[in-house]
Amino acid sequence: MGECVLMAPGCVEIDASGLDFSELNRRVRSEVCRGKREIVLRNVTGQRYIGTNLYNTAESLDQVNITIYGTPGNDLGAFLDGPTITVFGNAMDGIGNTMNRGLIAVHGRAGDIAGFSARGGEIFIRDNAGYRAGIHMKEYMAMKPVMVIGGTVQDFLGEYMAGGVIIILGLTLKDGESHHCRYVGTGMHGGAIFIRGNFAEHQLSKAVGKADITSEDQSLLRSYIDRYGALFDADVSCVDLAEFTKLVPLSVRPYKKLYAY
Amino acid sequence: MNPRKASDFGIRSNRLSEFAVERDYERCIKCEVCIRQCSFDVHYRDTEDDVIRQRPELCVGCQRCAVLCPTHALVIRQNPAGYRAHGSWSGEHIKDINIQAETGGVVLTGSGNDKQAPVYWDRLLINASQVTNPSMEPLREPMELRTYIGAKPDAVVVENGKLATEMPPRVKLDTPIIFSALSYGAISYQVQKALAQAARELGTLYNTGEGGLHPDFYEYKDNTIVQVASGRFGVHPEYLNAARMVEIKIGQGAKPGIGGHLAGEKVSEQVSITRMIPPGTDAISPAPQHDIYSIEDLRMLIFALKEATNYRVPISVKIAAVHNAPAIASGIVRAGADVVAIDGFRGGTGAAPKVIRDNVGLPIEFALAAVDRRLRDEGIRNKVSIIAGGGIRNSGDIVKAIALGADAVYIGTAALIAVGCTLCQKCYSGKCNWGIATQNPYLAKRVNPNIARQRLVNLVTGWSHEIKEMLGGMGVNSIESLRGNRSQLRGIGLSKEELEILGVRPAGN
C-alpha cells in the first residue's frame, strides 16, 4: 500500500490505495520538496485536496505535473498556484476552488461548483459538469480564469460570476437536444459565458443578456477549442464559432440601487 | 455663496434635522476649521455676510468640528425639538420611514446595535476574596494572563521529563484580548496598520477581516489572523500561509445570515490590490459560502485550509450568536475547527441593514454561556478555544466573559473608539471625519498610525492590568483559574431562566 515507484529522474509514482487524503498529500508534498516534478498517482479513490498543500515547496510550481488515475475527491486543486493536474477519470465537487494559477484537465466529468471563486488558471473538463459551475469566478489584472466544459452543465452556471471566461462546447448534447441548465448567470456581475448549442430564453437569469461576439472573442474561442481538442484528443472540427451565444452581465453593480442613499 | 438645502446635496428632505448645530458667534473667529473638517458639508462661509453658517440637516453628530474648534464656539446636540413625543413612534422610526419613502431602498447603518436591549454584563457582578482566601496584589505577585488559543489534547504524556504528546497548533497570547475582524476597505490603511503594530507590541493578534492582506502588512504575520469568507477576496496560498491563524467567517453579530457588499466607490487602487478585484467594482460577499451547506461541508473547508497551511496554524470558525448557537458550535468542533469565535448581536460593522443589525441575533452573554456549557456536557470543550465578541466595553466585561467560558475576547468597537471613533454610525458612507472608516486620503491621514498604535497599546495595557487586579481580588493568580468559573459571578435583577442559561447564582445566594 502506498508504494512509491521511482521512474526517470524527476518522476515518481505513488500508489494511493489505502492512503487517506492527508497521508497521500503529505507524500506528494515531500516528493515536490525533493525536486520531483512529474508525480503520478495511481488508484486514487476519493482523496481530497490533491495539489492544495504545495505552497513553498519549490521556487516555481509551474513545472509540477500531477497525473491522477482514478477518482480524486472534492476540492481537487483547491488554492492551486501553478501546477498542472491531469485526471484520467471523473472529478468530484469543487475542483479548482479559489485557484490562483495552474491548469486542471479532467478526462471525464466534474461534479458541482467547478472553478468556485477561481481568480486565475485554466480548467478543462472533457464531458459535463454539475451544478453552479464557475460560481463567483473573478479576475484581477492579468489574472483571468478560463474554464472550458466539453459537454453541458446543470443549473446556476456562472452564478455570482465577477470575472473570467466560461466556455461550454455542448459536445455531449444529442442531435437537436438543448441545454437543460436553468438560472444561468444568477447574480452575475462580471466576466463572460460562451455557450454553444440551443437553450430557451427562460433558462437565463434576469442578470444576464446576450452580446455580440467580437473578433477578439473569436480568437479566444478558437484557441481554447483547439487546446481542448489537443488535450483530450477530441475531434473539434464540428465546432462552428457561429453556434456560440455570448452572455454578459447586464449590470456590473447589481446592488447599487439596493440601499436608501 | 447662498445657503443650500439638503436637496442640493441629493438629499430629498422631508425629515427633521437629527442634530442642532449651535455656533456662538462671539467665540467664532471664522477660521474655517469646521468647514475643512466636515466631510458632510455642514459648515460653509456665507461670503455676502462674511460669517460661517451651517446646514444642520446634514450633520451626523460625529463631534469632529466641536472637538477641533479652537475657540469652542460649536455645540452639536440632539435636535432638542425632535418630532412630537410618542410612546410608540420614535423620531428614528419617523426618519427611517421618510428615507425609505423617498428612496425605496434598504436603510443602512454602521457600528453596533444602539437599541436599549438589556446588557447582561451589567447584571453580573464579580466576586472578591475577604479573609478566608486572601486576595493578591498584582504589583507584588506574578499574575498570569497568558492564553493559548487552539485545541488542547485529551491527555498529555510526559516521558523522561519531556512532553511526549504531539501538541495541536496553538497561538500564545500575552493577554486574552484580540482585535476583531476589521477589513482594509471598511477601515483605512492607517488604522489597520496601527492595529497590526499594536498587536505585535502587545503580544496578541489582529484580524484582516475579508479584505485580504496589504503587501505592507506581511511583516506583521506572526500577529495576523486572516479571514476566509464567502467572497474569497484576496485569498491565495501566500495569504493563508502569512497568518498565525486562519478564520472562516460564517457570520457576523451585526448582520447574521447576510453577506456584504463593499461598494465600488470604496474599492480604491490600494483596496483593489488586497481584495484582488478591479478598482471601482463592487466586492460582493454572498450570504453563504457556496461550498458550505452543512457541517460536513464545513469540515471540507476546514481541512482544505489545514492542508493549504500544512497543519501549522489553528483554524477558527466565526459565527454570529443565533438561537441554536450551541448545537452549531458542537458541529463546528466536530468538523475539526480549533477555535470557535462567537459574535454577539451588539457587534459592530462597517455597513449593515439597520433592521438586521437591530433585530437579528442574540446577546453574546447568553450565546457564550450556552456554547461553553454544551461543549462541556459533550466532553469536547478541550478540543476548541472560544473567542467571544460583540459588545465588550471594558475589562469588567472581559472578566465576566472569561468566567462564562471564553478563552479570549474580540474587541472591535472599543479599539476604534480608542483611535477616535465617536459612534456616529455613518461608517457605510465612507466619509468618516475621524479618518477611520474611509478610503478618502484627505480624511484617512487624520489618523496618525503611530499615535493610534500607542492609544491601542495603552488601552489594552490598562485593561490587562485591571484584569490582573480583579483576578488578584478573587485570590487567583492565573486567567486559567477564572476560565468558565461561574462561581465567581452572581446575577442581579435576572429571572430564574436567565440565571439558568448563564449558569450563575443570584446575588446573595
Residue pLDDT, tens place only, B84-96 = 889 999 999 999 9
Domain shared by B88 and B130, yes or no? no
* Interchain pair A259, B102: CB under 8 A: no
Domain shared by B325 and B213, yes or no? yes
Domain shared by B255 and B342, yes or no? yes
Percent of the residues in chain B that have a pLDDT greater than 90, as a whole number: 86
Closest by CA to B375, choosing from B148, B166, B151, is: B151
In angstroms, rounded to a whole number, what is the distance separating the alpha carbons of residues A30 and A25?
9
Mutate to test the interface with B, among A54, A57, A95, A138 (most CBs of B within 10 A): A138
Let me know if residue A78 belongs to a domain.
no
3-state secondary structure B335-402: CCCCEEEEECCCCCCCCEEHHHHHHCCCCHHHHHHHHHHHHHHCCCHHHCEEEEECCCCCHHHHHHHH
Size of interface A-B (CB pairs under 8 A): 132
Let me know if residue A217 belongs to a domain.
yes
Let me know if residue B492 belongs to a domain.
no
Q: Residue range A47-67: average pLDDT?
A: 96
Q: Largest Cα–Cα distance of chain B, in whole Å? A: 89
Q: Residue range B357-368: average pLDDT?
A: 97
| Chain-centre distance for alpha carbon B218 | 22
Domain shared by B300 and B425, yes or no? yes
Query: Which residue of chain A is at minimal alpha-carbon distance from B11?
Result: A261
Q: How confident is the model at residue B376 (pLDDT cuts 50, 70, 90)?
A: very high
Domain shared by B64 and B210, yes or no? no
In angstroms, rounded to a whole number, what is the distance separating the alpha carbons of residues A128 and A154?
9
What lies within 8 Å, CB to CB, of B42 at 6+ separation is: B21, B34, B54, B55, B56, B58, B59, B65
Domain shared by A183 and A101, yes or no? yes
* Residue B436 · residue B421 · CB < 8 Å: yes
pTM of the entire structure?
0.94
Domain shared by B95 and B167, yes or no? no
Let me know if residue B58 belongs to a domain.
yes
What the block records as the C-alpha cell of B340 is 470557535
Rounded to a whole number, what is the distance in Å from the CA of B115 to chain A's nearest CA?
21
Domain shared by A95 and A65, yes or no? no
Residue A21 DSSP code: H
Domain shared by A125 and A250, yes or no? yes
Let me know if residue A76 belongs to a domain.
no
The CATH number that applies at residue B39 is 3.30.70.20
Least CB–CB distance from A260: residue in B105, B236, B308 = B105
- Give tens-digit pLDDT for A114-165: 999 999 999 999 999 999 999 999 999 999 999 999 999 999 999 999 999 9
Segments in B268-294 forming alpha helices (H): 269-275
Work out the number of other CB atoms within 10 angstroms of the CB of residue B127: 16
* Interchain pair B308, A79: CB under 8 A: yes
Let me know if residue A83 belongs to a domain.
no
Q: How confident is the model at residue B241 (pLDDT cuts 50, 70, 90)?
A: very high
* Residue B227 · residue B207 · CB < 8 Å: yes
Q: Residue range A182-197: average pLDDT?
A: 96
Domain shared by B294 and B361, yes or no? yes
Please provide the distance, in angstroms rounded to a whole number, between the alpha carbons at the two ends of chain B.
69
Domain shared by B457 and B336, yes or no? yes
Domain shared by A162 and A46, yes or no? no
Mutate to test the interface with A, among B96, B255, B284, B355 (most CBs of A within 10 A): B284
What the block records as the C-alpha cell of A29 is 508534498
Work out the number of other CB atoms within 10 angstroms of the CB of residue B115: 11
Domain shared by A221 and A150, yes or no? yes
Domain shared by B384 and B454, yes or no? yes
Let me know if residue A125 belongs to a domain.
yes
Let me know if residue A7 belongs to a domain.
no
Domain shared by B150 and B70, yes or no? no
* Domain region containing A193: 90-261
Cα–Cα distance list, B437 to B267, B417, B433 (Å): 13, 12, 9
Rounded to a whole number, what is the distance in Å from the CA of B92 to chain A's nearest CA?
15
Instruction: Say if residue B5's pLDDT is above 50.
Output: no
The CATH number that applies at residue B168 is 3.20.20.70
Least CB–CB distance from B308: residue in A53, A113, A257 = A53
Predicted confidence at residue B278, as pLDDT, reads 86
- Give tens-digit pLDDT for B495-505: 999 999 999 99
Instruction: Say if residue B262's pLDDT is above 90.
Output: no
* Domain region containing B191: 124-480
Percent of the residues in chain B that have a pLDDT greater than 70, as a whole number: 97
Predicted confidence at residue B263, as pLDDT, reads 82
Domain shared by B229 and B92, yes or no? no
Predicted confidence at residue A260, as pLDDT, reads 78
Cα–Cα distance list, B472 to B123, B129, B140, B507 (Å): 22, 9, 10, 21
Based on the structure, what is the number of domains in chain A?
A: 2
Let me know if residue A29 belongs to a domain.
yes
Tell me what ipTM this predicted complex has.
0.94
Let me know if residue B499 belongs to a domain.
no
Least CB–CB distance from A113: residue in B238, B241, B290 = B290
Work out the number of other CB atoms within 10 angstroms of the CB of residue B158: 9
Based on the structure, what is the number of domains in chain B?
A: 2
Let me know if residue B494 belongs to a domain.
no
- Give tens-digit pLDDT for B417-449: 999 999 999 999 999 999 999 999 999 999 999
Sign (positive or negative) of CA dihedral B296, B300, B301, B307: positive
Predicted confidence at residue B279, as pLDDT, reads 87
Predicted confidence at residue A1, as pLDDT, reads 46
The CATH number that applies at residue A107 is 2.160.20.60
Contacts of A256 in chain B (CB under 8 A): 263-264, 282
Predicted confidence at residue A204, as pLDDT, reads 98
Segments in B425-488 forming alpha helices (H): 441-444, 449-474
Average model confidence (pLDDT) for chain B? Answer: 94
* Interchain pair B236, A139: CB under 8 A: no
Instruction: Say if residue B124's pLDDT is above 70.
Output: yes
Let me know if residue B208 belongs to a domain.
yes
* Interchain pair A79, B240: CB under 8 A: yes
Mutate to test the interface with B, among A33, A183, A188, A261 (most CBs of B within 10 A): A261
Which residue, chain included where needed, has cell 529522474?
A9
Predicted confidence at residue B132, as pLDDT, reads 86
The alpha carbons of chain A give a radius of gyration, in whole angstroms, of: 19
Contacts of B241 in chain A (CB under 8 A): 55-56
Instruction: Say if residue B208's pLDDT is above 80.
Output: yes
Domain shared by A110 and A152, yes or no? yes
What the block records as the C-alpha cell of B384 is 476548541
Domain shared by A65 and A141, yes or no? no
* HSE of B224, CA atoms in CB hemisphere, 13 A: 28
SS3 B455: helix
Predicted confidence at residue B492, as pLDDT, reads 97
Let me know if residue A213 belongs to a domain.
yes
